[in-house]
Structure 1
């Protein structure tokens, strides 16, 4: 572990991203309690827990856009690779959720910036945490759906929290304008998905593009729905199952969408979470040898349970007006297009999942 003789020395060594085991991440946490030199700034959300002397560092053995280091099985430091220009949604979301008392997440401790860039985020380490794509595919293969109601309630709790005023979000609920960019955004996603999806999948998609486009019509003639700061990338991979339950993580926004409004319908989050259960079913088919017909039935039950529980909890919390469920099918169709775009641009092997879901919709 690095011994800090000069509290500024660790900051001088952050020209490159620290790696697990080199001691720089642990040393940085120690330096957060000292004077912070320019151009760095630190925003604290909760008091940092004490890092045990000689705490071990390790990385996460999962695919990530960014690089995370676990310190002493107590804290996680997520290094943005590369650093992301400000403003970034995560620090404000952390400040808001802390203020309104939302706790179904990895406790946020700090955001570290350098100049006009977000450098790192510090959160609690959740013991026994499992990635959502792992545990949800396991549930799909086993045909279990009890978890779906819990996820629906969690999503409703999150949206109710995001609709509660705070110093960070003093005006958290906004009316929807009479005209929106939603149809244009969805149609553009469909066109891009058609351009990027080749071979037999591309031919199949082109033959059914009109069916997807039909789903988007409601976006042009929707009833007014409130807008809130949604999660923006809410899928099962963002929900950890850990020792004490479930936790929603990664408030970084949707990596496949740029220049979008921060305020969106709650239905967009719910649609993405619902379709991600179907994606988990496709993972179970491909990687766990699950029966496609049985997984198809499981997906119907699981998504129905998720959405029903979400609606019930919103009613219980007095926020029923947040959901315009007539938008769910349209946003779900747009999300599948975005999954195909993501696969084409970043992870080609993922294409089987959205194509499997689309084929289940239009057998």
Structure 2
């Protein structure tokens, strides 16, 4: 059954979002919301506007049903929430289920617009509901990027073809993002454990969980290298000298879109697999996750595209080196070379692979091959 809503009835439908999240059955709801956002928003709803919404206009000879068309991204898109493309100009992402505020995306959107960072899907608005239980985020409204593909598609293509020229663009994008986020207000002045940042404790817990949750031959292999992995994490116990900045928090190639006009970083929701992650961390956290995701791409290329393991490993190493070189170079150009503490890269990479194993064990068992494949390339038998 198709649901057609006008700008008045959409508010009635949204009252029940907590118990009945929007899905494909609610065709017309996203377009109705955009129309409703042009007027006054009734209680108990509230809207935070970041940029003016585009207009949906039609040429004199165009045929249309009286409003912008909706379509889904498609079943092939792996997404936790439910996103709808409206008029090929706007994306409405419905949080399923709605998420209690504070949520990182609205405040990051506001800051990126303020500082003029353009390498993302244009942020337009955030819709919330305010009631006796507090404020809840219902939807995020952003721009649609034509011909966009995420890195689990386009980057795997690059790995299969053995190309790595893209890596410099990734490094520049990550550096520009960190420079923009480094001016986010409210950064703590103290990176010590007493100041609330417990990097070693968090990483150690991730290693223990990965060891507990990984079974079979992979678990035995991992257990045999537990001491080595633990030593790799030791730099996190030392005082962190560099600044803590607002980071993306889940920066991997899947969050980098290649679209008609270049590259864009998306999804500032934070890491859905990490509870209570600090919003202010060393930039090296994001950089390490981006670097390891390139190595995950290599593993995907081996598994799904038939690329030879040695060739994939070599491609990952070259792409990673090129991305890091471009990142360092761009920070220097922007006068912020001190944002990256190189000593933190390897320990954060180890922690990230542990988190990938935890994610695989709890949510997506078939994914375990990727982090295990990366770890086996880092610690080959002859190096024990």
TM-score by length of 1: 0.95
C-alpha distance in structure 2 between counterparts of 1:141 and 1:174, whole Å: 44
Within 5 Å, which residues of 2 pair with 1:292-307?
Answer: 292-307=309-324
Task: Tell me if 1:261 matches 2:278.
Answer: yes
* SS of residue paired to 1:193: helix
Within 5 Å, which residues of 2 pair with 1:20-35?
Answer: 20=24, 22-35=27-40
C-alpha distance in structure 2 between counterparts of 1:205 and 1:3, whole Å: 54
CA contact (8 A) 1:178 1:224 kept: no
Count of matched residue positions in the alignment of Structure 1 and Structure 2: 357
CA contact (8 A) 1:75 1:123 kept: yes
Within 5 Å, which residues of 2 pair with 1:177-188?
Answer: 177=192, 180-188=197-205
Quote the residue 1:149 is aligned against.
Answer: 168
Task: Tell me if 1:208 matches 2:225.
Answer: yes
Uncovered stretches (5+) of structure 2, i.e. residues with no partner: 58-65
C-alpha distance in structure 2 between counterparts of 1:121 and 1:356, whole Å: 36
Counterpart pick for 1:246 among 263, 288, 306: 263
* SS of residue paired to 2:52: coil
CA contact (8 A) 2:284 2:341 kept: yes
Quote the residue 2:350 is aligned against.
Answer: 333
TM-superposed CA distance for 1:18, in Å, is 3.2
TM-superposed CA distance for 1:176, in Å, is 2.2
Uncovered stretches (5+) of structure 1, i.e. residues with no partner: none
Counterpart pick for 1:55 among 50, 68, 89: 68
TM-superposed CA distance for 1:17, in Å, is 3.1
CA contact (8 A) 2:22 2:96 kept: no
Shift in CA distance, 305/222, structure 1 to aligned 2, threshold 3 Å: farther
User: What RMSD, in angstroms, separates the aligned Cα atoms of the two structures?
Assistant: 1.4
C-alpha distance in structure 1 between counterparts of 2:307 and 2:188, whole Å: 42
Quote the residue 2:177 is aligned against.
Answer: 158
Quote the residue 2:159 is aligned against.
Answer: 140
Quote the residue 1:321 is aligned against.
Answer: 338
* SS of residue paired to 2:127: strand
C-alpha deviations, 1:72-129, integer Å up to 9, x for none?
1110001111111110000000000000000000000000111221111000000000
Task: Tell me if 1:19 matches 2:23.
Answer: yes
* SS of residue paired to 1:176: coil
C-alpha distance in structure 2 between counterparts of 1:135 and 1:50, whole Å: 31
C-alpha deviations, 1:199-225, integer Å up to 9, x for none?
111111111111111111000114411
C-alpha distance in structure 1 between counterparts of 2:94 and 2:29, whole Å: 12
C-alpha distance in structure 2 between counterparts of 1:64 and 1:350, whole Å: 16
Quote the residue 1:279 is aligned against.
Answer: 296
Quote the residue 2:126 is aligned against.
Answer: 111
C-alpha deviations, 1:261-283, integer Å up to 9, x for none?
21100000000000000001111
Task: Tell me if 1:194 matches 2:211.
Answer: yes
* SS of residue paired to 1:258: coil
TM-score by length of 2: 0.90
* SS of residue paired to 1:104: coil
C-alpha distance in structure 2 between counterparts of 1:261 and 1:3, whole Å: 40
CA contact (8 A) 2:151 2:256 kept: yes
C-alpha deviations, 1:208-260, integer Å up to 9, x for none?
11111111100011441100010000000000000000000000111121122
C-alpha distance in structure 2 between counterparts of 1:18 and 1:32, whole Å: 17
* SS of residue paired to 1:13: helix
* SS of residue paired to 2:271: coil
CA contact (8 A) 2:125 2:141 kept: yes
CA contact (8 A) 1:8 1:37 kept: no
